[in-house]
Structure 1
């Protein structure tokens, strides 16, 4: 039995409005936060991706990245082709030939997908309904290839077929002979002066005698070739002086520091060889040559060289001398930033032509195995880190070179603060990479050292100059006087008395004191052995 007056469920209007206002403010805040988080709009489920424990995750990711890069380069080539056709008015036959080249390139890029599709048919998996089918098929193919490589009998049988395997020797698509003939010849034909950029740490490794002969033979030997010794801050002054003396016996050579060093790089100080001073010297030399020719058109200067030797940085250093303009060409620490020809106008009398990095043909290292050639190109920074399948041979080659100098090898150990290495036979690379992996945290599940990641770390440190190392020039043996006076012209247009050519060209560019002292420099520090 209820006693008293019953309580009403009605609330005051003031309280009801307060609740409605608070509810509206809460909803407004929720909408504002929802705009910053777009996940609620997506109706499709997020792909789980590749598990970290999957044994072939790195290979699959590398394949995906390679396919993406090839597609981007294909699109860039198509745009460049369309632009050239619009400017030059190409005929229909040229268009058909170029389309055939693109179809061949697409066919090469889709070989892997074709192999995967065969495996998918054998597994009876439909790609349309199972997105993991390609992953499973690729993993199965990689596992079979891995088991085949571990079989010694299979390795012996595949030695004859190894010469046809493009993946072991082809560094990048633009490193092929076809790209060399296409891009390099365009630069040489269009240029009046060719700047051959060399790496100061290994000038002979980034030099090709075939390229020099081709430049001298082009256009009735009217081209001018100049060596640009870049990255001089990574070698000591005595080594730089010795290399300048050696290279100036062949062609005019100028030292250049085109850009700033990477963070924590081990650099050397050179008097009067700063970024501003060296770039101004090169700029004045080119301007002097352009004015002396007195042409009605601008003098074209082509810049060639290996990948990542600093060709685009040379152009940016020259353009910065003109009114402090911004950089004319994109640059990067890795190889392959420049993918097509690029023309930069300095003024009405001077134009620069930037070209992609090309691994020029070199007969000196043709006797080495394909693994050694690939390791040598990696140490020349001609291969981007993402495209390196196995960096361990390159680290082994680096340790072998630095071991010839106790000073350089001790500096290598000091970079990672490592104790003395324990060699198993003649192999010190394994212990070195294990210790580097522990120092830099390159560990896998269970604390197992990741040898691949540790080797990549060493390669990046070598590329950025954190690891010191350089080569010494070969010993100079003067030719006999009689042979020098009557030396005939050599193949490719090179004249026997090369010293006279260098003096004549130096006068055209007004380079005072270009021909250095021929005496051997006894103060050259010990260098790594080739």
Structure 2
């Protein structure tokens, strides 16, 4: 009988549902099998249907496409001709083939390429050794004529040190010069204001090294001005000038020296995913000699400054100070910190709210509200937990990663702009006269905002902590385990550790307990224990979750389980066997079958 009306529900019983699934599975299997056996080629990309024939402007569109193709072909041919012309000019201009740097190809040879590289100098092949003249910071301060204190132009006050300035003021013949580095990452107005502010206390040079290649070292901003200034001071002294380049870790000290030397003399820090083993890229002083107009400038590259943390500081102040140092150094992957919230709290507390909203495209949030800021960043990047709550930890790591990789452009302004003081030194007057040309190469605030955003932050304070001066440097031999424990303790103190070895005290106590136990035992037992105590060292832990237990000699064979509980003595090898006792004769009862009558 046909169905009278349409079914109002799609519910079916389990038998019908299983039949439908089975048929669908068989259909898919059959289609897949047929597709494999079908020889016809089917492209995964959708074919362009082209312009319809009845489209009124088809001829114009085809003409435009043909014109674009013609222009691309002409540009390609033009680049090819320019490249060939440049090769011919370079080949004709060079008198000697060995003077050509880089790779050169003969015009008639296409299959082979002759690469000519300059011979490596002896300075590059020589290993970097520890100079005994500068065992610590105190020796560098005593022997240097000029101290170049490198500051980050984005927040110069946070990189200044009252202790260093007081040490320089004690020696009137010693000059302290501020090098305002990384000015290419700041707006022109901020750099000009900071230069005026810092020159009221000490001479200041505007500097920038855009990159780390040989060309960047030759085109560094302010390198020529700094060299002329140092050369005139060397002429006034009448002998070689010793210049110490100091500053916080990762502020750009080695880049400044490479720019002054016009070559890669010192290693430069590069961000990497590998764990960092040293607190500073430059582990001990390295001297680079630069010839400037007949005068030798001895530039000393120093490790990053190390401070003594105040012992009477509270826990909150210590955490805030540590977070500030992490952000200033930006060494390593700071976005991989176990707790990224303290450094991020420092950023939110000092950054302008409107600039953060524009940089990350966030809705409005309250001032100094780190939670609301992280919630907005998490929702923007779709970082939600299983409970649909924003993941603030991952959002904090994103912001710290931007800070670490230079995607968090920022600047500060000086607290006050004092009037420019008169310059008594003629060399400084000549250097300051070139500021207009240097500042003209920097971008303005509006240009930086349009390019990738810009965040205004509150200026920091001058560091008032005491600098570690009398601790010796760390040499590569000290990093390996040695017999002298005093050097290891000095290295720990240099990095800011307490230096107390609590584990060593515990080891002494354990040794005393073991001695008392050995004295209380017999001599025969001691020999047996010494033989048994020679256990093989435990194997290295593998990738398994539970480490393997240390081996304790050969394992005994497993006991055989029997139905009765009789412990028979085990016969040893070479031991006389004991006679077994005779078994008692037990008479078993006989079964007598009784016939039923």
Alignment TM-score, normalising by the size of structure 2: 0.44
Higher helix share: 1
Alignment TM-score, normalising by the size of structure 1: 0.49
- Select the structure of larger CA radius of gyration: 2
